[in-house]
Amino acid sequence: SDLQKQEERGELFQPLVFVLLVLCSILLYFKVSLMDPGFVKPEEEEGEDKGQGVVIPQIPGDVKLRRCGYCLVKQPMRAKHCQLCQHCVRRYDHHCPWLENCVGERNHPLFIVYLSVQLVVLLWGGHVAWSGLYFEQSWEWLQHNIFLLVSFLLILIFTVVVLLLLVSHLYLISCNTTTWEFMSHHRISYLRHSELENPFDQGIILNLWRFFC
């Protein structure tokens, strides 16, 4: 059959890989959106004060850990309360409306992997859409290719968005800072009173190693 001939010629390998990448992207989406991003639990408060000075010796001593005004748990360093999730999140980065979940200490690395896989899928899909276009200045051509043209434009827009998001996150990770800390540096007590602009920065290599490993 034609399917067997295509398989013998290796023509089914690329579509199979593309489908597997799409499935991987979907699974990562649900994994990141449904998992605990690092919610602070009241029973964990006893150990919060231990090791804080070891993690950041540059933080001034007059910066006190405070209780959250919403859920009343003692916030660890770099945690923030998310009013949409109704929880304090460790190493809070941002609340992602696309995931309907916070991006925090536990799911941030998987979020980066998800963005990377999604970018590969979009680039591949954009290449396929572009290869199917041949341009002619006629109304008949536009009628026959309008769906493919709109699909390519949508893929292009999403690719730019995902690429910018991935690059910005990788930059912040390499500096060992979060989106929330980067945007609200002047309002965060442990950053505003620190002698260093970013007391968490330990060099690009060590920052990346500690984040992903």
Closest CA to 184 of 111, 92, 112, 108: 92
pLDDT at 136: 62
Instruction: Summarize pLDDT for 15-34 with one digit per residue, the tens.
Output: 889 999 999 999 999 999 99
The predicted model gives 131-157 an average pLDDT of 76
Enumerate the active-site residues: 96
The answer to whether residue 52 scores a pLDDT higher than 50 is no
Mean pLDDT score across all residues of the chain: 84
Can you list the pairs that 60-66 forms with residues at least 24 positions away whose Cβ atoms lie under 8 Å? 60/193, 60/194, 60/195, 62/193, 63/189, 63/190, 63/193
Residues recorded for the chain: 213
Name the band, by pLDDT with cuts 50, 70 and 90, for residue 57: very low
Mean pLDDT throughout 83-96? Answer: 94
pTM of the predicted structure, to 2 decimals: 0.82
Band (pLDDT 50/70/90 cuts) for residue 55 is very low
